[in-house]
Each structure stands twice: as structure tokens, then as C-alpha cells.
Amino acid sequence: GHRYTSLLSRMWSGSSGQNTAKYTEKDLRQSLNDKFPGAEEIAVTDISGGCGAMFEIFVKSQEFRGLSTVKQHRLITETLKEQIKDMHGLRIHTEIPEK
């Protein structure tokens, strides 16, 4: 399959590292499972050392077939838009399974 990656990152001004995890890997995975019930694989990894500030997302789904990379990643960011508001960044990987 084809694998596509994007990195969304945001700089926070005045952040003193007091950020507590508002969302967990499990929360994000559940939202993605609800949006992509037919996905072959969904993986969510907290890459901020457990503080919930930055996540790596991987979704492998037939639903991406025929969509540009930008549209694939937009589906994910739209699905997680509420959670993204509280993150420093998000790394997204999408893949289309072989037929």
C-alpha cells in the first residue's frame, strides 16, 4: 500500500509544561474507530512522553482509496478536531491496503 505522512505542529506561547493529558491514546483510538469502522489498522501513540501533548496516528483503511493525501489527513484531523485543540502537535500516517 501507499503510506502518506504529515506533521501538524503548533507552538504554544507561555506554556510552562503544566499541561496534563486531557486525552489519551485510547480516547483518540475510539474516535477513529467510530469514524473508520472498516479500517484494517488504527494505531495511536503518545510521542510526548505520556503528557498527551503530541500524538502519532496511523490509519490503514480502504476508505482512503481515491482520495489525495491531503484529503485523507483532513478526514483524520476533522475526526479529532476537538482533541487537536489541546495538543501541541499531531503526526499523521495513512495507508491504503492492497486490494
Number of domains in the chain: 1
Range of the domain at 88: 3-9+22-95
- Of 75, 72, 71, the closest CA to residue 35 belongs to 75
> pTM here?
0.79
Mean pLDDT of 63-76: 97
Write out pLDDT tens, residues 4-35. Answer: 666 665 554 444 444 456 889 999 999 999 99
d(CA 14, CA 21): 17
15 falls within a domain: no
33 falls within a domain: yes
14 falls within a domain: no
The dihedral through the CA atoms of 78, 82, 85, 86 has a sign that is: negative
CATH at 49: 3.30.300.90
69 falls within a domain: yes
Find cell 503530541 and name the residue.
54
- Taking 80 as the threshold, does the pLDDT of residue 78 lie above it? yes
74 SS3 class: helix
Find out whether 56 and 62 touch, Cβ atoms under 8 Å.
no
3/91: higher pLDDT: 91
- Taking 90 as the threshold, does the pLDDT of residue 52 lie above it? no
